[in-house]
Structure 1
Amino acid sequence: MKPTQPTLSIITATYNAEEHLPRLIASLIAQTDPDFEWVVADGGSTDRTLELIEAATAKLKAVVVDSRPDFGIYDALNRAIRLASGDYYLVMGADDELFPEAVAQYKIACEETGADFVTANYYIGERDIASVWQPAWEWRKGMQAHVTGHAVGLAIRRTLHQRVGQYSRHFPLLADQLFVMQAIRAGARVARRDFIAGRFHPHGTSGSDLLGLIVELYRVQVRLGHSLLVQTLLLFYRIIRCWPRIQQQRSKFLL
């Protein structure tokens, strides 16, 4: 008897996302393989977010929604993972989009490889394509030495969290980096596929807090045991290289 194909949950954290959510919903409805569940952990939205999700339930096979105040995106994702039933899950931001063949391609890749992580390429914005960094220097690129990214580009075996733990609330911007690398160090296997899964739109908190992102990457890398000296030098290098953008973000914040 042919083995049953792995099941897939798509999980999304939302909060007042009515402006962007229709794009994600349309891409989920357009999937050539409709056999997946969409799990939404909402932070207590006060706009039309929940209304849009409710309307989508008539066009999607399975939708699970939990709305309550939370402590940020990783707290919401942890909640969504507990609610999910898929063998694997795929994180999609409220403003991201999935290309029509993505669910089918991810499920086939998970079945063929049996890997704990299946990573695919995706667009960042309109043109740039995320891919695995080569050479695979984890000390420099962190998670991107192993996978293309966390949202859109990575199917994750859900039971990994039983071995490695949840996303840490101590890392509000890069808990995904810490989890992925801890899982790999615990023996999780990565399979790479060259299909383009969708489009990631970098409009979230991490994209608007570049200095916080740089500092948190430093904290993650040091926690993982990379050289304190090397990581401190990289910290200062990244701050100097990105200083104009950091100043620009600071100016917008002060306005």
Structure 2
Amino acid sequence: MSPTLSVITATYNAENYLPSLIESLYSQTDQDFEWVVADGGSKDKTIELIKQAQQKLKRVVIQSQSDFGIYDALNRAVKLATGEYYLVLGADDILFPDAIANYKAACARTNADFVTTLYYEGSKRLASLHQPAWEWFSGMHAHITGHTVGTVIRRSLHQTFGEYSRHFPIAADQLFVLKAIHGGATVSLENFIAGRTNPESTTGQNPLGCLLELYRVKVMVGHSLLLQTLVLFYQIVIWWPQIRKARA
């Protein structure tokens, strides 16, 4: 039996991005999914666009209220969702037409807690995946390609490993994924291409903040403080051009 799947999205004043995402949801060859949107109190046409999507999609759930950022919104969406698995999509992401069908088939075949696959970061660059042994360097990307677009997650994992932490406004996904995997959650790596993310992500906007939070996360899950400090300095050197650009 095919597992149920929820697509969850956090939005805030996203009217310029949502049409492409919504069109990609319309284009799915498997329409048996729900779309759960946790909105942060948008003042533009975001809610109007989502309500229009209710006319064509099987099930759309909207909750709009003030929140504390993306992970607070995602926590709300996870609670509102009914699917056995969920897929996080940003308002500026898109799915390719067979993505939902491929994800559901992989979940049914493997029964894994995380099903992860390829996706484009921007128009051409495929997201990379390191081996689990490289977790000390890559964090969750040693296990999954990415938190949005590239991975579906068993929703019940949150009952065991908690919500996305408000203490990590950039890397709460890293902490949750690593806690779950260290706690025995299973991962299946697939080879289809699910869709595309916007390369101008939070990481691109605040690379130093991302590196610092990832450093804290890896220490929290048990990696050596000394080693992680050395890794942090190395990554700051490598990312220095992007850090300077973001601070300009």
Q: TM-score, normalised by structure 1?
A: 0.95
Q: Which residue among 102, 109, 128 is the counterpart of 1:105?
A: 102
Aligned positions of 1:193-208 closer than 5 A: 193-208=190-205
Cα shift at 1:242 = 1.4
Partner of 2:22: 25
Does residue 159 of the first structure (1) align with residue 156 of the second (2)? yes
Note the residue ranges of structure 2 that are not aligned, 5 or more in a row. none
Match of 1:67 in 2: 64
Give the Cα–Cα distance (whole angstroms) in 2 for the partners of residues 5 and 39 of structure 1. 19
In 1, Cα distance between equivalents of 2:104 and 2:225: 40
Off by >6 Å, runs of 4+ in structure 1? none
Match of 2:55 among 58, 70, 79: 58
CA RMSD of aligned residues (A): 0.9
Partner of 2:243: helix, strand, or coil? helix
Contact 1:136–1:146 (Cα < 8 Å) also in 2: no
Shift of 1:135: 6.7
The match for 2:79 is 82
Q: How many residues align?
A: 248
Q: Distance in 2 between matches of 1:131 and 1:204?
A: 16
Partner of 1:36: 33
1: CA distance, partners of 2:136 / 2:202 = 24
CA apart distance, 1:83: 0.1
Unaligned residue ranges in structure 1 (runs of 5+):
none
Displacement of 1:207: 2.0
2:131 touches 2:143 (CA, 8 Å); kept in 1?
Answer: no
Q: CA deviation at 1:249?
A: 1.1
Task: Write the deviation string for residues 193-217 of structure 1: whole angstroms up to 9, x where unpaired.
Answer: 1000000113233320011011111
TM-score of the two chains, using structure 2 as the length reference: 0.98
Q: How high is the sequence identity, in percent, across the aligned residues?
A: 63
Alpha-carbon distance in structure 2 between the residues aligned to 1:240 and 1:249: 15
User: C-alpha offsets along residues 17-39 of structure 1, whole Å, 9 cap, x if unaligned?
Assistant: 11111110000000000000000
Task: Name which of 227, 231, 235 aligns with 2:228.
Answer: 231
Do 2:113 and 2:186's aligned partners in 1 also have CA atoms closer than 8 Å?
yes
